[in-house]
Amino acid sequence: MNTQHTKVPDGTEIKLAHSHARNAGTKLRPEWFEDIAVNRSATERRAATLTTRRTVKKEYQAAWLVKAITCIDLTTLAGDDTAGRVRRLCAKARRPIRDDILEALGLADENITTGAVCVYPTMVPHAVKALHGSGIPVASVATGFPAGLTPLPQRLAEIHYAVGEGAAEIDIVITREHVLTQNWQALYDEIVQMRQACGDAHLKAILATGDLNTLRNVYRASMVAMQAGADFIKTSTGKEEVNATLPVSLVMLRALRDYGELSGQTVGFKPAGGMKTAKDAMNWLILMKEELGLPWLQPDLFRLGASSMLADIERQLEHYVTGRYAASSRHALA
Amino acid sequence: MGQIKDILRTMEYGPAPESNSDVKNWLEINAKGFGHFINGKFTPVEGRKTFSVSNPANETVLAKVAQGTAEDVDAAVKAARGAFGKWSKLPGHERAKYLYAIARHIQKRERFFSVLETMDNGKPLRETRDIDIPLVARHFYHHAGWAEMVETEFEGYSPVGVCGQVIPWNFPLLMLAWKIAPALAAGNTVVLKPAELTPLTAIAFAEVCHEIGLPAGVVNIVHGDGETGALICGHDDIDKVAFTGSTEVGRIIREQIAGSEKKLSLELGGKSPFIVFEDADLDGAVEGVVDAIWFNQGEVCCAGSRILVQEGIAERFYNKLRKRMETLRVGDPLDKTMDIGALVSAGQLKRVSALVEQGKAEGGTLWQAKVELPAKGSYFAPGFFTDVEPASTVCEVEIFGPVATASTFRTPDEAIALANNTKYGLAASIWSENINLALDMAARVKAGVVWINSTNLLDAGAGFGGYRESGFGREGGREGLYEYLSADWEKRLPPVKAEPALKLSAAPDGDAKVAGTGAIDRTVKNYVGGKQARPDGGYSYSALGKGGQVIGQAGLGNRKDIRNAVEAAAKAGAWGAATAHNRAQVLYYIGENLSARQAEFEALLVESTGVSTKAAAEEFAAALRRIFYYAAQSDKYDGAVHATKSRHVTLAMNEPWGVMGIVCPDEMPLLSFVSLVLPAIAMGNRVITVPSTRHPLLAANLYQVLDTSDVPGGVVNIVTGERDVLARTLADHDEVDALWYFGSKEGSAMAEKASCGNLKATWVSNGRQRDWLSTGQGQGREYLRRAVQVKNIWVPYGE
C-alpha cells in the first residue's frame, strides 16, 4: 500500500491510496517485445468467447455495475467544454447514483463516486474546484491531445501546467510515428520525459491503438510505455476511428501481465472510447477478472474512460432495485 | 441486500442458472416414456421394454425411452423404404423447402434444444447455446442448398436409398444433423439411432419433423443400445451405413456388413496432435488448448489431446497452461458461467479416471485444475500430463475426457514424426506465425482436418473426417455429399459372367496343351521396387491361352512377395510429393511407350484371352486413350477452397491415400489394369497390383513399358498369382492404406472384412461386371475420387 499525494493550488491535498508500488519502469528492453507473436484470429476468438463464457446476474450484476462506476473516468473532452459543463460533470462524479437507489442497494455509506473526472488542461482548475473535498482525482489529458504532434517542450509544459493546477493524473498521448517506424528509443525517451514532468501525478499512456493498426504494434507500444514508467496504459483518445475493443484490450493486458512477470512491477489499464453501455462495462470487467484477477478490478489499476456509460448503468441499477424499466429523465445529467 | 457490499469486495460471479422449466414441462408431459419415431408417428411405450435416461450433472432420471427391437427396426426400415420412392423423386426444390423449414424451426426453438441437450449430455449451456445448436441450424441451411442443387451439381449420381445411421453421445443433435441433413438433401430416407445415453434431442427433433410436415417415413428414429445399432446396420434393406463413434465399434460394423454391397462411412476416434512451435502466439495457443481438450469435457473425437511443444518454450508454455487452468470453471452445466460441465455418464467418469490413474502410475505428472467439484454428478477436473512419452498409455489411448498429454520436440521433422506416430488421423492443430512452417506441417500431417493457429473449427461447408483408423468418408461440404450419392452406372452393373474355376498348379503338368514351340521361353516375374523379382516361394503357374493351351508361366506370388512390394511402395513416397505436372509427364510417357508396342500387346491379348484381333485392337486403343485421360487429370483433379468463415481460407486438398492395393479383374486384362492403376498413380498413390490371375503374361510386358517410362521404382509394383490369396494379404496389411478389389462377390466380402484391421478404405466390385470400354463406366472422376482422401486445412488470416 502506498499513498499518492496531490497538491491543489488552494493549498489542500488529495490523498489516493494504491495497493501497489508505483511502476518505476525499466531501461529500454526491446528483447521483451520485438519478437512478440500476436495472432489476430486467435486473439479475436478469445475476445469473442470471453464475454459469452461469463455473466453475472441479480445482486451480483448490481454489485458489478456499481464497481464499474467506481472505475469510471467520467470524461468530457469537447471543444465546447466550459466551466459550467465541467461543474455539472463533477457533480455527477460525486453523486453518480440517485440516493434512493444507493440506499436500496445498501451502499448509502460507501461513498460511491466515479474513479476520476477527465478533462482538457484548461478545464482542470474548474474540475479541481468542483471536486473540492470529494477525494475524487482530476485527470487531465495533455501533450497535444489527441494527435500529440506539438513540439515536445510544449507538450511537457502542458503537463507541468495541468499538474500545477492540481491534476492527479495525466493522460498523455504517444507519438504514433515512433511506433509506426518502430523507433522504440524515441518513444521510450519521450515517455520517460513525460513521466518526469508528471512528478507525483500518475501517467496514463494513451497508445491510440486505432492508429497503430496491428496487434503486434499494440503489444510493442504497450511494453515500451511500461518500460518508460507509465502507471497506466490506455487504449484510445476516443478520437480515433476505432477506439477501445476487446481484442486490443486483451493484447494490452497480456503485455501488462508479461511486463509484471518480467519486471515484478504493476501497471494499470484503461480502455477508453466507444464504450457506452452497462453491457460494455460488464464485458471489460469480465476481461479484467479473467485475464488479471481481482486487483485489476479496483480503480487504482482499472479505469473505464467513458461519458455516456454511466447513464446506462444507473438505469440498470434502478431496474434492479424497482423491477421496472427506468427512464433517463429521472437521473441527473452528467 | 447487505450482500452487494460484500460482492463489491470479492467480485465473484455468483450463480447464473438458465431456466429449464419449459424442458421440465415437456419431460413431465412425456413421463410415461418416449417411443420410437417410425413412419411419422411415435410408437406407444406401454408394455414395451424401456431404459431410463438421466442427467449426468445431478443423476436425476429425465425420461424413459423405448428399447428398439428387431421388429421396431424392421418397421422403421420398411417405413423408410416406403417413403424413399416419392422422396427421392421430389424435385430438389421441394426437398430444399423441407430442409429449410427444419433449419428454421431449430432456430426458433434454439434455447429449448440447448437446455435439453445440456440436461441430457452434461455439457455446459454456453456450448449448446453458442456452438452445438447454431451449427445444427447451419448444417440444415447448408444442405437445404444442396437439396436445391443436387440434380445439377451431381449429374450422373442419385441417392443411395435407405440409410442406417448410428450416432454418438458427445454432440447428440449436431451428429444427428451431420447425418440426416446430407442424407435428406441427396434424396435418401433414414433410420437413425441416437446414443442410448443421449436420445432426447433426437426425440425433440422428431417432433420438429412432425411440425414441419416432413413426409412420413423420411426420417425414422429408433432408440436403443449397440444391439439395436447392429440390427440397423445389419438389416438387409439398408443401402448405406453411416457411423460416428469409437474405432472399436467401427471395426465391428465394417466386419458385420462386409460383402453386403452397403455403402459405408465411418467417423471414429482420434488422438489428435496439437503442435506448438516456438514462434507461435503462446497466449493464443493456450486458449487453443482450452478450446481443444477443455471443450465439451474433452469428449471430442477431434480434440487436440496430444500437445507437442518445441522444447525451448515448453516450460513457459506449461506455466501458462497451469495459470490458465486456475480460471476454468467446472460445475452445473446449466449455469451460464461454466466452462466445463459433467462427463456424459458415471461409466465415462470411471473410464476417464482409470486411464488418468494409469497415466500417473506409469510415471506421468498430472497437472489438474484445483476446482471444487459438485458432490453429485460425473465431474472431472480438467488437466494435462507432462513427463509422458509416445510409449505412455495416455499418449496412445483416446482418454475422451478433459486431460491432454504434453511432450516436447526439437525440430519440425521431429514434430511431424511424433504427430504421425499414432494409428489415428482425425485432426491436427498447428501453431506457428511462420506460414512456411505451418503449411509444411499441414501438408505432412496425416489428418483429415488441419487447423492452423486455431482448433475445433467446424462448418457445414467444409469436409470433416479422418485418415487411417479415424475412419473414412467425409461429412460436410461437397465431399460429404458423395457419401449419400451413388454413381448411376455403378448401381446397375450386372454380375460377372461365370467362368470355369481356375486351378493354379505350381507343379509341372505333363498333360498340358502347349502352345507353339520354337520361340524363346517367356517368364513373368514379379515387379517390385522398379526391379523384376523372382517370386519368393520359387513357384510359378501356367498361364493358359486360347483353347486352354499353356502360353507361358507366371510367378505364384505369396505373402512375402506382397510384403516386399508394400515395403517398396512405402519407400516411394516422393511420388506423391512430385508435382502433378511431373506425374502427368510420366503418365503420358507410359502411353507413348505402350503405343510403340501396339502390335505385340494386341497379339498377346488375342493369344491370352482369345478375343478377335478387332476386339484386341479396340481394347488397346481404349487403354491408350485412358492413359491420356488420367495423364490429363493428374494436374486437374484438384481441390477446392470452401467458403466457411470470414477471413479464413479453408483448403480442401485431394491427397493420395499413400499405399494402395489394386486387385485387377480377369476381363479385359490390359484395359482393366490401366483403368485401375492409372487413376491411382495419377493422384500420387503407390500401388501393389495383382494383375488378372487368368492372363498374367500381359503384366510382364506392362512392366517393361513402365521400366522405360521413367516411373520411379516402387510406384507400381506387380505381384502375380492367385487373386484372393494375394488380396487377402493386401487387405490384412496395416501399411496398405486403401484397397480396390475387382473380382468375385465372395472375394469382395473377404476383402472388406479383412480390411477392418487398419480400417483401410475399400472399393470392391461385389462380383459385378463393368464395361471397361465405356468411358462412363471404365473411367472418370469417380475413379479419381476413390483414389484420394480430402484433407481440409483451415488457414485463418489477418495481421
Using one digit for the tens of pLDDT, what is the confidence trace for B432-491? 999 999 999 999 999 999 999 999 999 999 999 999 999 999 999 999 999 999 999 998
Residues B632 and B754 in one domain: yes
Half-sphere exposure (Cβ direction) of B727: Cα atoms closer than 13 Å: 28
Interface check B497 vs A, CB under 8 A: no
Grid cell locating A289 = 477478472
Count of pairs with CB atoms under 8 A, one residue in A, one in B: 108
Using one digit for the tens of pLDDT, what is the confidence trace for B563-586? 999 999 999 999 999 999 999 999
pLDDT band of B547, cuts 50, 70, 90: confident
Residues B543 and B684 in one domain: yes
- Label residue A213 exposed, middle or buried (CB < 10 Å: 0-12, 13-18, 19+): middle
The verdict on residue B10 lying in a domain is: no
Q: Which of A52, A55, A106 is nearest residue B1 as measured by Cβ atoms?
A: A106
Interface check B363 vs A, CB under 8 A: no
Mean pLDDT, range A207-232, rounded to an integer: 98
Residues of A with CB below 8 A from B454's CB?
41-42, 45
Residues B250 and B318 in one domain: no
B284:A106 CB<8 A: no
Closest-CA residue of B relative to A66 is: B8
H or E segment to which residue A206 belongs: strand A202-206
Using one digit for the tens of pLDDT, what is the confidence trace for A80-118? 999 999 999 999 999 999 999 999 999 999 999 999 999
Whole-number Å distance between alpha carbons of B272 and B470: 10
Mean pLDDT, range A265-271, rounded to an integer: 98
B454:A41 CB<8 A: yes
Residues of B with CB below 8 A from A54's CB?
13, 336-337
Grid cell locating A32 = 521483451
Show which of B438, B465, B492 is a domain's final residue.
B465
Whether pLDDT at B684 is above 80: yes
Q: How many domains does chain B have?
A: 3
Whether pLDDT at A202 is above 60: yes
The verdict on residue B492 lying in a domain is: no
Whole-number Å distance between alpha carbons of B626 and B632: 10
Whether pLDDT at B2 is above 60: no
The verdict on residue B729 lying in a domain is: yes
Q: Which of A42, A107, A297 is nearest residue B284 as measured by Cβ atoms?
A: A42
Whole-number Å distance between alpha carbons of B9 and B200: 42
Rg, Å, chain B Cα set? 28
**pLDDT score at B222:** 98
Residues B279 and B259 in one domain: no
CATH number at residue B253: 3.40.605.10
pLDDT band of B516, cuts 50, 70, 90: low
Asked whether the CA dihedral B167, B169, B173, B177 is positive or negative, the reply is negative
Grid cell locating A97 = 447514483
Mean pLDDT, range A243-247, rounded to an integer: 97
Rounded to 5 degrees, φ, ψ at B193 are -115, 115
The verdict on residue B319 lying in a domain is: yes
Quote the DSSP letter at residue B128.
I
Residues B324 and B239 in one domain: no
Q: Which of A2-6, B106-110, B341-345, B628-632 has the lowest mean pLDDT?
A: A2-6
CATH number at residue B354: 3.40.309.10
Using one digit for the tens of pLDDT, what is the confidence trace for B116-167? 999 999 999 999 999 999 999 999 999 999 999 999 999 999 999 999 999 9
- Label residue B107 exposed, middle or buried (CB < 10 Å: 0-12, 13-18, 19+): middle
Residues B229 and B307 in one domain: no
Grid cell locating A154 = 510544449
3-class SS at B143? Answer: helix
Range(s) of the domain holding residue B763:
509-642+657-786
Interface mutation target, options B3, B8, B340, chain A, most CBs of A under 10 Å = B8
DSSP strand pairing (A268-270 vs A232-234): parallel
Higher pLDDT, A276 or B511: A276
Residues B282 and B427 in one domain: yes
**pLDDT score at B420:** 97
The verdict on residue B127 lying in a domain is: yes
Percent of chain B at pLDDT exceeding 90: 94
DSSP strand pairing (B513-514 vs B523-524): unpaired
Grid cell locating B146 = 444442396
Grid cell locating B761 = 478404405
H or E segment to which residue B82 belongs: helix B70-89
Residues B57 and B140 in one domain: yes
Cα distances (angstroms) measured from residue B6 to each of A63, A105, A106, B335, B698: 9, 11, 10, 22, 89
Grid cell locating B618 = 479396340
Whole-number Å distance between alpha carbons of A221 and A229: 13
Say if CB B131 and CB B173 are below 8 A apart: no
Residues B453 and B551 in one domain: no
B799:A57 CB<8 A: no
ipTM score? 0.95
List active site positions of A.
Answer: 171, 234, 270
Show which of B268, B294, B311 is a domain's final residue.
B268
Grid cell locating B527 = 515387379
Whole-number Å distance between alpha carbons of B723 and B680: 19
Mean pLDDT, range B712-729, rounded to an integer: 97
The verdict on residue B504 lying in a domain is: no
Beta-bridge partners for B472: B266
A107:B287 CB<8 A: no
Closest-CA residue of A relative to B7 is: A63
* Torsion (CA) A228, A234, A239, A242 in degrees, nearest 10: 110
Say if CB B299 and CB B348 are below 8 A apart: yes
* Torsion (CA) B304, B356, B420, B321 in degrees, nearest 10: 40
Instruction: Map A121-186 to HEC letters.
Output: HHHHHHHHHHCCCCCCCEEEEECCCCCCCCCHHHHHHHHHHHHHCCCCEEEEECCHHHHHCCCHHH
**pLDDT score at B518:** 64
Residues B763 and B666 in one domain: yes
Mean pLDDT of chain B, nearest integer = 96
Interface check B288 vs A, CB under 8 A: yes
The verdict on residue B17 lying in a domain is: no
One DSSP character per residue, B206-261 reads: HHHHHHTTPPTTSEEE---SHHHHHHHHH-TT--EEEEES-HHHHHHHHHHTTTS-
Say if CB B644 and CB B752 are below 8 A apart: no
Interface check B278 vs A, CB under 8 A: no
Q: How far apart are the first and last CA of chain B?
A: 48
Max distance between CA atoms of chain A, in angstroms, equals: 56
One DSSP character per residue, B661-691 reads: EEE--SSSHHHHHHHHHHHHHHTT-EEEEE-
Using one digit for the tens of pLDDT, what is the confidence trace for B202-249? 999 999 999 999 999 999 999 999 999 999 999 999 999 999 999 999
Question: Of A127, A168, A118, which is closest to residue A306 (Cα–Cα)?
Answer: A118
Q: Give start and end residues of each alpha helix (H) in chain A.
A: 40-53, 58-70, 83-94, 99-104, 124-130, 152-164, 176-180, 184-198, 209-212, 215-227, 246-263, 278-291, 309-322
Mean pLDDT, range B291-303, rounded to an integer: 97
Mean pLDDT, range B485-507, rounded to an integer: 88
Mean pLDDT, range B536-565, rounded to an integer: 92
**pLDDT score at B591:** 97
Residues B32 and B84 in one domain: yes
3-class SS at B111? Answer: helix
A43:B281 CB<8 A: yes
The verdict on residue B183 lying in a domain is: yes
Using one digit for the tens of pLDDT, what is the confidence trace for B157-192? 999 999 999 999 999 999 999 999 999 999 999 999
How many other CB atoms are there within 10 angstroms of residue B87's CB atom?
Answer: 22
Which domains does chain A carry? 31-330 (3.20.20.70)
Say if CB A165 and CB A195 are below 8 A apart: no
Say if CB B490 and CB B763 are below 8 A apart: no
**pLDDT score at B1:** 43
Q: Which of A210-224, B127-141, B253-267, B691-705 has the lowest mean pLDDT?
A: B691-705
Q: How far apart are the first and last CA of chain A?
A: 32
Show which of B268, B299, B318 is a domain's final residue.
B268
Whole-number Å distance between alpha carbons of A121 and A160: 10
Residues B264 and B378 in one domain: no
Whether pLDDT at B515 is above 70: no
Q: At CB < 8 Å, which residues of chain A contact B?
A: 35, 37-46, 49, 52-60, 62-64, 66-67, 104-107, 110, 214-216, 254, 285, 289-290, 294, 297
Mean pLDDT, range B739-766, rounded to an integer: 97
Interface check B390 vs A, CB under 8 A: no
How many residues would you count in chain B? Answer: 799
Residues of B with CB below 8 A from A39's CB?
280-281, 284, 433, 453, 796
Whether pLDDT at B517 is above 80: no
Q: Give start and end residues of each alpha helix (H) in B366-509.
A: 393-396, 412-419, 435-444, 477-481, 488-491
Spatial neighbors of B734 by CB under 8 A, at least 6 apart, are: B757, B758
Whether pLDDT at B17 is above 50: yes
Q: Which of B8, B281, B339 is nearest residue A38 as measured by Cβ atoms?
A: B281
